[in-house]
Chains A and B, each alone.
Chain A
Amino acid sequence: MSKEKIVSSETMAMTEAKRSNMLSWFNPVTINKRGIGMWAWVFQRLTGIGIVGYLYLHFVTLSSLLQGANAYEEHAYYYASIALFQFMVWGLFVIIIYHGLNGLRVILLDIGVSIDAHKILFWIFMVIGIILSALSAYLLYTIPDIEKVM
């Protein structure tokens, strides 16, 4: 990948002030007339950050394995016993489902399939996503207690 300098430094300096960080995606001046594609992408980024955040939590939990299997199980049972954490696990399912499905949509767009129908494609994937989210909630909250099974 060549990183050629395409724009002169003079123009860059001039436009520097106008550039902004990711808060500009939520700029109230232009926020009201955005299309679905824009929001699909913004949520793709935000869910991506969420998934990376979960990854660290995952490492923290796994690191208790260093203290032996019992320590890990204690840790896991502790989390499983809190209702909020159970709800957050479902939240994790939802953002992974969104990220995955919208990722598929973007792959399809990259291949060149259905660029004209990208909005319809988004809603089709979102309906699939809602069904999968409901299914995951059903499974999460009806999983039999592990202790009883064992």
Chain B
Amino acid sequence: MDADKLNKEYEFTIKIKRYDPQVDKAPYWKDYKVKITASTTLLDTLFKIMEEQDPSISLRYNCRSAVCGSCAMLINGKHGLACKTKPAELGTSVIKVEPLPYLPVIKDLVVNMDPFFEKLRAIKPYMITDEANWPEKEFRQSPANHRAVDQYAGCILCGACYSSCITVWTDKNYLGPAALTQAYRFVIDERDIATKERLKLVDSEDGVYRCHTSFNCVEACPKGIKPTDAIQGLKRKIAVQKIKSLLRIG
């Protein structure tokens, strides 16, 4: 009985925004009718469409379990991972699938992530340690510090927050939520020693101060990370640092 229920198939209409810049003049919608079970993910649905109807659809995917961050797309107008979204849970039988907005489309659902990664590289997204005084065994981190860092270290670099940010849409130099969140992640990490350098890097017009706290990134993040928290944290750290340097105490 239960197996029957699980295997019951429902019909969905998947509308995919197709666009091949080398062939098409403008993006167009193409509808695909497909039968899937209640537990099928959108990624599997797209695979089914590619196998049965149209193999020419392009999309990025890799791990299929919300860890790699390759399959971020706009699903019914909302940012999400195709592998984490189940069509049956969206409450509608017509599902619109689009590439991430405000990033250049390469083909169909594949976008050029270069602007996103370039900004990530700009904030030095790696641990900088005191090489002269390396500990004999391992770098120690307190459990409390780990808990503080944990949320931001969970970023899978899918680019959903970047493409949802109102400031990114209008300012091409803005670092974006993901890069600033990673900057904060290393600033609060007690094993990292380059705090001042990092704060100086984001303390600019195109850094933290361009954030208008619209919380679009928080709404978009498929991993439940709150980039706005991190950016506001950076702002406060910079303010404290400036007061300290004004008083010559740090």
Q: Hey, which bits of chain A sit against chain B, CB under 8 A?
A: 1-8, 11-12, 14-22, 24-25, 27, 29-38, 40-42, 106, 109-112, 115-116, 118
Contacts and interface: CB of A to CB of B under 8 A. Distances in A.
Contact of A7 (B118, B169, B203, B216): B118
A6 B206 contact: yes
B74 A29 contact: yes
Contact of B215 (A8, A11, A31, A118): A118
A64 B102 CA distance: 49
Interface stretch (B30-38, B51-59, B231-239): B231-239
A111 B229 CA distance: 11
B131 interface: no
B166 interface: yes
Interface stretch (B8-16, B41-49, B142-150, B170-178): B170-178
Contact of A19 (B74, B172, B216): B172
Contact of A15 (B104, B175, B203): B104
B103 interface: yes
Interface string B116-144: 00110010000000000000000000000
A15 B172 contact: yes
A42 B215 CA distance: 12
B114 interface: yes
B187 to A, nearest CB: 15
B213 interface: yes
A1 B115 contact: no
Contacts of B212: 41
Given A6-B118, A116-B229, 13 more contacts: A2-B203, A7-B119, A7-B122, A19-B102, A19-B170, A24-B170, A29-B101, A35-B216, A35-B218, A37-B213, A37-B219, A41-B166, A118-B215
Nearest to B75: A33
B93 interface: no
B74 A37 contact: no
Given A7-B119, A7-B173, A29-B74, A34 B112 contact: no
Contacts of B107: none
13 contacts: A1-B205, A7-B118, A11-B118, A12-B173, A22-B170, A24-B102, A24-B169, A31-B77, A35-B218, A36-B215, A41-B166, A112-B233, A112-B236
Give the 4 A-B CB pairs with smallest separation, nearest first: A37-B215, A41-B214, A33-B78, A33-B77
B173 A115 contact: no
